Amino acid sequence: PFKLLGILDVENIPCARDSVLYGSLGSVVAGLGHFLLTSRIRRSCDVGVGGFIVVTLGCWFHCRYNYAKLRIQERMAREGIKNKILYESTHLDPEKKPAAAAPEQS
């Protein structure tokens, strides 16, 4: 497995791989863009590191939010399927329509 800095297992942590890849691309774009505009090498390296941090964290939080939302939807679907199987053909089945009362004759 690939470990970033020896601690972050990028292969098994959801969203880690994409976040690091996008962060690297953001670092190159920010640093190179700043260098082309200002021709200051040290400041461009600082901007590149800042770009890496900002883009990585932005992608990480966006991906983890969507991942958590998907997990909640999956859990709700599993519970719905379990309830459907559990209550099917019983009086608690929400799809079962109650029998209409016979009209009174006078």
Identify the sign of the CA torsion 51, 53, 58, 64.
positive
Which pTM was predicted?
A: 0.68
- Give the orientation angle of helix 41-87 with respect to helix 16-38, to 10 degrees: 150
Each residue's pLDDT, cut to its tens digit, for the chain (106 residues) gives 566 666 667 777 788 888 989 999 999 999 999 999 999 999 999 999 999 999 999 999 999 999 999 999 999 999 988 888 877 777 766 676 666 555 666 5
What was the pLDDT predicted at 11? 73
What was the pLDDT predicted at 22? 93
What was the pLDDT predicted at 20? 87
What was the pLDDT predicted at 104? 66
What was the pLDDT predicted at 7? 65
Q: Rounded CA gap, 46 and 59, in Å?
A: 20
